[in-house]
Amino acid sequence: KSVEPEETYTVEENNNWIPKKESYSQKYYDILEKRKDLPVWKQKAEFIEKIKKHQTIILVGETGSGKTTQIPQFVVDAGLVKPNTMVGVTQPRRVAAISVAQRVADEMDFKIGEEVGYSIRFEEKTSSKTFMKYLTDGMLLRESMHDPLLERYSVIILDEAHERTLSTDILFGLIKTVLKKRPDLKLVVMSATLEAGKFQKYFDNAPLMQVPGRLHPVEIFHTPEPERDYLEAAIRTVISIHKSEGEGDILVFLTGEEEIEDTCLKIQREVKNLRLDPLTTLPLYSTLPIYQQSRIFEPSEHRKCIISTNIAETSLTIDGIVYVIDPGFSKQKTYNPRSRVESLLVSPISKASAKQRAGRAGRTKPGKCYRLYTEKSFREELEVQTHPEILRSNLSSVILQILRLGVTDLVHFDWMDAPVPETMMRALETLHYLGALDGEGNITKTGEIISEFPLDPQLAKILITSPTFKCSNEALTIAAMLSVPNVFQRPKDNRNDADAAKKNFDHYEGDHLSLLNVYHAYKKNQENTNWCYDNFLNFRALKQADNVRSQLARIMSKYKLSLESGDASSRYYYQNIRRCLATGFFMQVAKLEKKNQYLTLGDEQSVIFHPSSGLTKKPEWVIYNEFVLTSQQYIRTVTEVKFEWLMETAGAYFNDMCAGQNPPKKTKDIIEKNRKYLSTNNYNNNNNQKR
Ligand code: ADP
Ligand code: MG
């Protein structure tokens, strides 16, 4: 067995600081054999020569060719990582950052979090020894706020560039400037699709390196007729493959957690009913706990059927997949700047995505891809490419970050694709109403602090105003609870008990306050290991919330925002918390219309409370955390507020909304009517309530 791969390049002095192991584990050698088979491995020398010669290179290779796991190691071997710096590798997805960092730590025989680490929002696993770090693109963007020249990195690898996430797009522009100021910095842009020409051009004609794919042929089947129910069709197809096709694992692309878990159960039920051979069904989505994610990669005694979101399209490579089932949908962000509504919608995928998905079947041997749509709709209905996220997102958070970095001329920022002007205007307006920007568009002290919190600006604003309402402890808890996966569990076979358990925590004035109740109860019962289970609560999510809360508290104290609580027995206790919530959420307000129907102000959508809401009464005014569109239009996580609080905190916002050339008519009427009512009813009395 060869101990070290043959090396055809010279290792430089720089490398001496990287710890060398005396001996390696058996696992190391086992993986090494597999690594040598990866397509990129053959081009190691070529890669090293290129990256030494050029500051930026674009690297394109099929998913699974070894880009994400091998290239950072090549960079280290080439001696490009200077002492006490790192190679940073961005990933659009948290799951991928963790999973790949773990894999590479194994490959190099290190313990994760030591030499090789990762960093995602609210979770950093690195040490002073770390020289290789996988991090989400959003985290690198955040780091650049305090390290604008990215000086802790010698090499930056922007991975999955073809995904064109919002953060990656912004990093393109920022790093392009940094490269000019730091001739010693190297950049590798990696992509799974051949659309690299655009990247090359953008990065001043950077050279392209291509890793030939090692794809086996994939036979593609379309359904002759459109499918009415893609879930039912997907289950049927899994069963028929399992019954009559040869060896090989199955990968099904679905759109979200609930759908995936549900389908896993249904498939298991079918397999049992039909008395088929056992089939191992494995879900894969972003909030899946880590120990469950790793099961995807472990060998299984039986045929595996992995049911995944888009994560498995290019971010994670799972060996052994021979059959792919592609219903043709994914959850995609859309943003309507006019109504300011950003939502996740199940939408048809693009042709490029469909091709990537099919490719997953041909990794290890010839495979088959079953598209649950007609060939005609593939040809005529699917868009060629998915639109970059920057064209379909609310930009307020990233725009604040860019401004914070000192970029003032947003129009002339070096966008790869410039955002729609209206979207940009909306973002600036939002920031202005939140007090993050002054009249001239300069960032304010409040704006500076808002940008420090890894939260939506609205939530950050609430934390900043919370000391004045004597509820910063409570606001922290609410912000933390809103930043973790849903804490309420609702198992399919036990919905009634789960709903009954949830009722115990419901607060009659709002779901935000219920979250507070859950957190307090959790803290009281922390020692009792069964408590979460008995109450249908997600223990991991609550633990995470606790951790997030302390991180946010640290930022609060850094900016001298005092941690206070009011007197819980006072009648103003909950009222103050609700008033505080209004200072951030005034752009997400709904007014009761009739019965249980609400109208959202501004965008004038007709909505009802999400069934998960515990708010049984129907208050005149509510703020909400999310607008959800499924079979119905819902608002989720709602809390009662008062009209005068909204006027008090955001009068200008509502004035502007009603002024304009084309004001939303119903909204304008509502506001004017209520204002009149307010002024005739002792406004002052209401307003002088004790805090
Ligand atoms: P690319 O980035 O080009 O898509 P990767 O570097 O992610 O390719 O993957 C290369 C190979 O590494 C895969 O084919 C797979 O066999 C292996 N691999 C990656 N991650 C894991 C993991 N977590 N567990 C086991 N094998 C893995
Ligand atoms: Mg990759």
Of 624, 640, 691, give the one whose Cα is nearest residue 467: 691
Q: Which of 194-203, 501-510, 584-593 has the lowest mean pLDDT?
A: 194-203
Give me the half-sphere count of Cα atoms (radius 13 Å) on the Cβ side of residue 397. Answer: 19
Give the full edge-to-edge strand order of the sheet including 303-308: 218-222, 367-371, 321-326, 249-253, 303-308, 279-284
Q: How is 453-473 classified by DSSP, letter by letter?
A: SSS-HHHHHHHHHGGGGT-HH
Ligand 1 touching residue 63 (CB < 6 A) = yes
Ligand 1 touching residue 91 (CB < 6 A) = no
Q: How is 484-526 classified by DSSP, letter by letter?
A: SS--B---GGGHHHHHHHHHTT--TTBHHHHHHHHHHHHHHTT
Highest mean pLDDT among 355-359, 411-415, 493-497: 355-359
Q: Quickly state the pLDDT bin for 457 (edges 50, 70, 90).
A: very high
Question: Which pLDDT score, from 0 to 100, does residue 619 have?
Answer: 97
Ligand 1 touching residue 315 (CB < 6 A) = no
CA distance 559 to 553: 10
Of 297, 327, 295, give the one whose Cα is nearest residue 309: 327
Nearest-atom index, ligand 1, CA of 65: 3
Question: Which pLDDT score, from 0 to 100, does residue 14 have?
Answer: 63
Question: Which pLDDT score, from 0 to 100, does residue 683 have?
Answer: 52
- Centre of ligand 1 to C-alpha 125, Å, is 20
Q: Of 286 and 88, which is predicted with more confidence?
A: 88
Instruction: Name which residue sits closest to atom 26 of ligand 1, judged by CA.
Output: 297
Pocket test for ligand 1, best of 27, 103, 284 (most atoms within 8 A of CB): 103
Nearest-atom index, ligand 1, CA of 99: 23
- Centre of ligand 1 to C-alpha 62, Å, is 12
Q: Is the pLDDT of residue 234 over 50?
A: yes
Kindly list the distances between the CA atom of residue 339 and the CA atoms of 335, 422, 591, 602, 604, in Å, as whole numbers in the listed order.
9, 11, 16, 7, 8
- Centre of ligand 2 to C-alpha 91, Å, is 8
Q: What pLDDT, in 10s, does the model give residues 610-644?
A: 999 999 999 999 999 998 877 789 999 999 999 99
- Centre of ligand 1 to C-alpha 137, Å, is 19
CA distance 162 to 143: 22
CA distance 429 to 424: 9
Q: Quickly state the pLDDT bin for 682 (edges 50, 70, 90).
A: low
Nearest-atom index, ligand 1, CA of 319: 16
- Centre of ligand 1 to C-alpha 241, Å, is 25
Question: Which pLDDT score, from 0 to 100, does residue 8 have?
Answer: 45
Helix pair angle (445-452, 457-465), 10° resolution: 110
Whose atoms come closest to the Cα of 103: which ligand?
A: 1
- Centre of ligand 2 to C-alpha 476, Å, is 36
Q: Is the pLDDT of residue 9 over 50?
A: no
CA distance 621 to 617: 11
- Centre of ligand 1 to C-alpha 192, Å, is 13
The helix (run of H) or strand (run of E) holding residue 133 is strand 132-136
φ, ψ of residue 640 to 5 degrees: the values are -70, 135
Q: What pLDDT, in 10s, does the model give residues 511-538?
A: 999 999 999 999 999 888 899 999 999 9
Kindly report the average pLDDT of the chain as a whole number: 92
DSSP 43: G
Question: Which pLDDT score, from 0 to 100, does residue 193 have?
Answer: 79
Q: Quick one: how far is CA 146 from the chain centroid?
A: 22
Average pLDDT over every residue of 325-335: 93
CB-based burial label for 526 (10 Å; 0-12, 13-18, 19+): middle
Kindly list the distances between the CA atom of residue 393 and the CA atoms of 124, 280, 457, in Å, as whole numbers in the listed order.
26, 37, 14
Name the residue type at position 208: L
Question: Which pLDDT score, from 0 to 100, does residue 6 have?
Answer: 47
Q: Of 559 and 195, which is predicted with more confidence?
A: 559
Structure tokens at 108: 């190099």
Instruction: Name which residue sits closest to atom 17 of ligand 1, judged by CA.
Output: 317
- Centre of ligand 1 to C-alpha 23, Å, is 24
CA distance 490 to 487: 10
Average pLDDT over every residue of 27-51: 95
Ligand 1 touching residue 359 (CB < 6 A) = no
Q: Is the pLDDT of residue 551 over 60?
A: yes
Q: Quickly state the pLDDT bin for 335 (edges 50, 70, 90).
A: confident
Nearest-atom index, ligand 1, CA of 102: 23
Name the residue type at position 110: F
φ, ψ of residue 199 to 5 degrees: the values are -65, -45
Q: Is the pLDDT of residue 7 over 50?
A: no
Look at the block and give the residue holding tokens 């129910």.
229
Q: Is the pLDDT of residue 582 over 80?
A: yes
Average pLDDT over every residue of 322-347: 87
Question: Which pLDDT score, from 0 to 100, does residue 650 have?
Answer: 95
Kindly list the distances between the CA atom of residue 659 and the CA atoms of 545, 662, 667, 677, in Å, as whole numbers in the listed order.
41, 8, 11, 19
Question: Which pLDDT score, from 0 to 100, does residue 285 have?
Answer: 93
Instruction: Name which residue sits closest to atom 19 of ligand 1, judged by CA.
Output: 317
Pocket test for ligand 1, best of 32, 33, 37, 69 (most atoms within 8 A of CB): 69
Question: Which pLDDT score, from 0 to 100, does residue 603 have?
Answer: 87
Question: Which pLDDT score, from 0 to 100, does residue 12 have?
Answer: 55
Looking at the chain, the whole-number percentage of residues with pLDDT higher than 70 is 96
